[in-house]
A and B are shown apart, each in its own frame.
Chain A
Amino acid sequence: MLYKSEMRANSADGSQVKKIEKFKVLSADTEIGNDFKDPELMRLKLDMAKEFTRVYRENAGEHRAIREAKCLAAQYPALCRKIVKGDLFAGRAHYFPLVGFGLEIYSHSGVRGIMVDDLAGDQVTEETKIFRERLGASNTGYFYDYSALKEAIRTLELDGPEKQEAEEIIRFWWEESSRYKYNKLLPKDITDYVDRTDFDLKLASTFFRVGCASVGFDPLLRKGIPGMKTYISEKNSSVAPDSDAAGLYTGMLMALDVLVSVCGRYEKEALEMAAVETDGAYKAELLKMAEVLSNITVRKPENTREALQLFWLYNLLTQTLNYGRMDEYIGDFYVRDIDGGFATDEDILKLLKSLWKIINDLMIDGLFNSAANNRIILGGKGRRNPENADRFALIAMEATRQTYYAEPNVTLRFCKEQNPLLMKKALDLVGEGCIHPSLYNDDAYIPYVAETFGVSPEEAEHYIPEGCGEIVLDHRGIGSPNALFNYLTLLDLVLHNGYYTNLGEQKSLKLGELSDFDTFDKLLEAVKKQIDFTHGVLARRQALEVKFEGENHAYLFMSMLTYDCIEKGRSLMDRGARYLGGIIESFGITNLADSLYAIKELVYEKKRFTLEKIVEMLDADFKGYEAERQLMLSLPKFGNDHEGVDGFHTELTKFINQNVNERGKAAGLDYYLVCNLNPGGITYANVTKASADGRRYGDPMAVGNAPTAGRDQNGMTALLNSMLKHNKNHGGYVHNLKVSKSMFSPENRKKLETLLKSYFDQGGIQLMITTLNPDDLRNALKDPEKYANLIVRVGGWTSRYVELEPVYQMEILNRTLYC
C-alpha cells in the first residue's frame, strides 16, 4: 500500500522544491485537496469531526471497545458517499476525515509532513517541528488531520463560537491522538537511527498503521448479521459482565448496529434515487439494491448479489483493501445461483464488473494513491469448497479480463491437484496483456511459509499475499509492513564507519576503519553486524507499536472476523489474532549482494583496487572513474545463473531472513520478516549513493527477487534459475518477468507454459508476468494518448504505464524483455 504516494515523495532529481510542487498538484487532484473546494463536503466532515470528538470525550471512562463502537457510529454512515449512477452495489466512502478512527489512514497533515520531511536544519520552522513530533503520514486508531482542520477554518470562513469549537478540536487531539501517544513512546535510540518520520527515503522509513490486513468473510456470509449477533451475544453471556471480554463483545454488537445503519442509509438512498430515475433498467437495479440491503440486515445472504453487498459494506467499515479468498466465500452462492437457475453467468459478470469498477474507482474516490493493491485471492489449497470456489475463480478472472482495470489486483494461487482450467485462464489473461493475475505456487510456497512462520503445513495453507505481496496468514495474523529499510545504504554506512555521508552525521555503529577490513570476511562480518543492529532496532519498534495498538484500539470489525478474537474474547492486536508479527520492506538487497561480490573480486581476489580507492570512486559518484565503473558493471550480476554471485546472494539473503526473524522473536513478536515487493528500489534509489555494482547515484536498484533492470543477459531460463536460488524464508518477494506477446502466440505458448511449469516444479514460488509488444513502451512514451490503457506491473502493484513518473517508466523500459 501507499507506495504510489511514497514514489511521489521523490522527484526524479530529488530536489525538495519539485517535491513540494508535486504534492501540491497531487493534493489538488484528489479528495484531499478537493475537500477545500467543496464547502458542502467540508462542512459534512467538520460536523462529523465535532460529533466524533464529542462522543469520544463523553465516553472517556468506557471500555475501549464500547468507546470505539460509539465513535464509529459518529463516523458512519456520516462518511458514506452517495451511490454513483450505474453502480450495482452500495458502498463508497469519503476518505480523509478531519477526525476519525481507522486501521490505516493517510491525511492532509501526512502529505504536508512528507513535504517538510527532509528539510535541511535551517529550514525547519515551528510548524515543521509540529509535523515531525506530533503527526505522521500514516495513522491508525484515533486520528485528526491538523492541516486540514486549519484549512477548514480558513476556507469555510468560520467565525465566533464555530471557529472556537474547531480550534478546540485541534487542541484536544493535540495530546489525544493515537499517533502522538505512540510517538511519545518511542525511545531515543530508535528515533535516532530510523528517525520518526515516514518517508525518510534515504535509510529507513517507519509507519504507524495496521496494514496488509484481511478478514475472513466466511462466517459473516454464512451466518449473516443476525447470526453474528447471536453468536457474539452467546459468547457475551458466557463471560463475567464486567470482564474485558464482555466489553469487547458489547463493542462488537454495537459495531454490527453501525453496519445495519449503513445498510439502512443506503436502502433509503437507493429508493429515493429509484423514485426519480428515468432509465427503466437502472431504476429496477436500484429497487433490487434496496431490497438486497434490506434483506441482509434481517437474514443471512441467500445469493451472490446479497453476499457481495454484505461483504462490500462490511469491508467498507473494516477499512482494509485486502479482500481475501473471495472464491471461497462467494463460491457457494455463485454455484447455487447458477445451478439453481436463479442467475446466469452474464448476470454474475455484470455484478462483478460493477464491483471491480467501484474498487478501481477507489483511487479516483480520493483514497489518495494508496488504494493501489486491492487484493483478491483465487485458487489454492486450504479452501473448504474447492470445486465451487474454482468455478467462481474462473468467472472472477473473466470479469478482470473484460474490465481491463489496473485494480483489483487479482491473484491466483495454484497447486498440482488444482483444476488446470484456472491456470489456463490465468495465462489467457496474462497473454492478452491483462497483467493480472499474479501467480503463487502453493506446492512450493506452503512448506516455506510453515517453516518461516513456525506453523503447521495445514495452517500455512492459509497464507495469502496482501497489498503488494506481503505474506500473512489470512484472517489469522497481522504482520503490518511498518518499516522500510535501504540495505544498500547500510553498506555505505559500514564503509564510512557509521558516518552517514548523505546527512553528514554519525548515524550508526563504528565497526571499523577501511584499513581494518584487510580480509573480505572481516568486511562481510561488519555488514552482518550492521544488519543485525538494524533488525534489532526495527523489531523493537514494531513490538512497541503492536503493544500500543493492543492496549488502545479494539479494531472491532477486524476483530470480529479474525481468528481467534471472538473465541478468546480479545481484540485483534491484544493477542486476539493468532499471530502478531511484522514485515520490513527491504530495498537494495540484490544490489548489496552484487556490490559486495564486486568488492570481493576487485579488492580481495584480483587486487585491482584497494578498498579505499573503491570508496573514493563511490563517494565521487564515479566522476573520473567511468572506465572503472564499466569494469564493475562487467562483473557477474544476480540474474544470470552465475554460481559465484548467485551463491553469495543466497547466503546473504539466508542470513538476513534468519536474523530478522530471530530479532523479531527476541523483541516479542511471533515473527518478523523481510520482503521486497515495491519499487522503493527506484524511489529510495533516487537518493542512494553510487554502489560497487556499477550503479550511479540515483540509478534504480533491483525490485523484488529480480536483477537490476537489464542486468540479466543470459536468457529466461538463467533468470529463472537465479530466482530459484534465492532464500525463500521471507515475507514475500515479487518476481517480475517481462515477456513479449509473441511468447503467447500459438506456436510458442506451449513452450512458454512448459517453461513456467518447469520453473514452478523446481520450487519457483511466485511470478508476475507483464506481456508487451517489443516497442509498446517506447511508443507509449512517444504517443501516450494511444497507449493510455497499457497496464504494467511496477512492483507489487500495477499501473497504467503512461501515468507513471519518468524514472519508473525508464526502469520498466530497461527491464529485459524476453522474446
Chain B
Amino acid sequence: MESREHDSRNVKGNIHDLLRCSIHDGPGIRTTVFMKGCPLRCLWCHNPESQETYPELSYSPEKCIGCGKCAEACKHGCHAVKENPHYFDRTNCGRCFACLEVCYKGALKRVGDLKTVDQVLTEVLKDRSYYEESGGGVTISGGEPTMQPVFLKALLKRAKEEGLHTCVETCGQASFDVYLSILEFVDIFLYDFKETDPKLHKRYTGVTHERILDNLFALDGRNAATILRCPIVPGLNDDKEHLKGIAKIASGLDNIIEVNVMPYHPYGNTKGVHVGRAPRLEGIKAPKEETVEGWMDLLRSLTGVWVCRG
C-alpha cells in the first residue's frame, strides 16, 4: 500500500501553466492548473498552446533581442538571426529545447512541463489561506484534464486529502469511466457546452456533441454539482436556438448550479501563433457589453438557474 501511495504522488502530468489568484474558474479565489492536450479543436480556442499533448516551443518575436544565441545552440537549424528579429522554422524542431537555455530574455518558452503531483500541489498550497477565506480552491483545467486520467485522479485525491475545494473544467469528450474515477474527489464540474446543433458542433469543435451530452446527463444522474460553461462567439453560436438549448439543458438537469456565459475574446490568437498555429477565426471581435447582457437576459428569461459571466 505504502509504495502505491508513494507512486501516486510521483505520477507526472504534462502541465502548461499554473495561474494563481484566479477569480474566474469556480467559486472564490483559486489556483488553476492547466493541463496539456485536448481532443477538441474549437475554432475560437483561447488556449491554443494547450491543444497538443506533447511539449512545444513557443516563440514570441516581440520579446526577441536578436542576440543569436539560439542559432548557436540549435542542432536542427531551426533558428537563424538573418532577419530582424530572427527567423524561426519549427519544421525540423526536434523539441530538444537546447535553445531555451540560452534565451535569457524568454522569447523562447517551453509549453508543457512534466510535473509530479506533489510539485503541483506545493505550488497550489501556497495560497491555502486565500482559499479558506474565500471558499476557493484548486481548479484543474486545460487543455482537457481527462486526457491525463491517472495524474488527474492522483492530483484530485491529494488535493482532497489536503482539504481543498476542487473543480474540474472539462469539455466532456472523454470516457465516462474517467469521470467515475474522479467523481468522489470533485466538488464542482465546470462543464463546457458549446453548440446545440450537432452538425454545427462538429464544424466548430471537430467532434459531435453526442458523447459530451451523454456524459453530462450521466454526471447529473450521479448528483455531480455542475456549472455549465458556454463560450459564445458572435456570428457562430450566439443565435437564439443555441441560447434556448443552453437554457433547456440548465433547466432540465437537476445539478446545474450555475450557467456561465463566456463571451469570445481574441487574445488566444497570439498564443497560437507563438506555437505555430495560425488563427482560425479572423475578424471576429469581442462582443460589446450590451450584447453580452442581452444574451444573459435572454437566458435568465428562459431558465431559473443562476446565469452570470464566466
Contact = CB atoms under 8 A, between A and B. Distances in A.
A755 B130 contact: yes
A641 B130 CA distance: 14
B126 A641 contact: yes
B127 interface: yes
B104 A754 contact: no
B29 A634 contact: no
B20 A714 contact: yes
Contact of A721 (B19, B105, B126): B126
14 contacts: A627-B67, A627-B69, A627-B104, A627-B105, A630-B65, A630-B106, A716-B20, A717-B20, A717-B21, A717-B130, A718-B127, A747-B308, A761-B129, A762-B129
B130 A758 contact: yes
A424 B21 CA distance: 22
A448 B200 CA distance: 63
A751 interface: yes
A39 interface: no
A778 interface: no
Contacts of A717: 20-21, 29, 126-127, 130
Contacts of A158: none
B118 to A, nearest CB: 15
A751 B24 CA distance: 10
Given A626-B65, A627-B102, A717-B130, 19 more contacts: A626-B67, A627-B69, A627-B105, A631-B104, A633-B105, A634-B104, A634-B105, A634-B106, A641-B20, A715-B20, A715-B21, A747-B309, A748-B23, A751-B23, A754-B130, A754-B134, A755-B29, A757-B133, A758-B130
A601 interface: no
B30 to A, nearest CB: 10
A47 interface: no
B37 interface: no
B20 A751 contact: no
Contacts of B21: 715-718, 755, 818
7 tightest A-B CB contacts, nearest first: A630-B104, A715-B20, A715-B21, A754-B134, A631-B104, A758-B133, A630-B105
A628 interface: yes
Nearest to B105: A630
Nearest to B123: A641
A626 B66 CA distance: 10
Interface in A595-648: 626-631, 633-634, 641
Interface in A60-114: none
A814 B21 CA distance: 20
A751 B126 contact: no
Contacts of A755: 21, 29, 130, 133-134
B55 interface: no
Given A627-B65, A634-B105, A721 B308 contact: no
Nearest to A631: B104
B254 interface: no
Contacts of A628: 104
Given A714-B20, A747-B308, A751-B134, A721 B127 contact: yes
Nearest to B67: A627
Contacts of B133: 754-755, 757-758, 761
B28 interface: yes
A295 to B, nearest CB: 51
Contacts of B28: 751, 754
A668 to B, nearest CB: 42
Contacts of A626: 65, 67
A818 B19 CA distance: 13
B132 interface: yes
A627 B107 CA distance: 12
Greatest chain A CB density within 10 A among B23, B106, B309 is at: B23
A102 to B, nearest CB: 48
Interface in B1-31: 19-23, 28-29
A92 to B, nearest CB: 47
Chain A interface mostly: helix
Nearest to A635: B104
Contacts of B309: 747
B20 A718 contact: yes
A629 B65 CA distance: 11
Nearest to A628: B104
Interface string B99-111: 0001011100000
A409 to B, nearest CB: 28
Nearest to A819: B23
Contacts of B126: 641, 717-718, 721
B129 A751 contact: no
Interface in B66-118: 67, 69, 102, 104-106
Contacts of B20: 641, 714-718
Contact of B29 (A629, A747, A751): A751
Contacts of B29: 717, 751, 754-755, 758
Nearest to A721: B126
A534 B130 CA distance: 40
Interface in A356-373: none
B22 to A, nearest CB: 8
A127 B215 CA distance: 87
Interface string A741-773: 000000110010011011101100000000000
A758 B23 contact: no
Contact of B19 (A715, A748, A761): A715
Contacts of B132: 758
Interface in B272-289: none
Contacts of A751: 23, 28-29, 134
Contacts of B308: 747
A631 B106 CA distance: 9
B122 to A, nearest CB: 10
B172 to A, nearest CB: 25
A715 B135 CA distance: 18
A631 B22 CA distance: 29
A762 B130 CA distance: 9
Nearest to B126: A641
Interface string A143-168: 00000000000000000000000000
A159 to B, nearest CB: 67
Contacts of A716: 20-21
A626 B105 CA distance: 9
A716 B29 CA distance: 10
Contacts of B22: 715
Interface string B177-220: 00000000000000000000000000000000000000000000
Interface in A692-734: 714-718, 721
A716 B20 CA distance: 8
A717 B19 CA distance: 10
B26 to A, nearest CB: 11
A755 B135 CA distance: 11
Greatest chain B CB density within 10 A among A629, A717, A757, A762 is at: A717
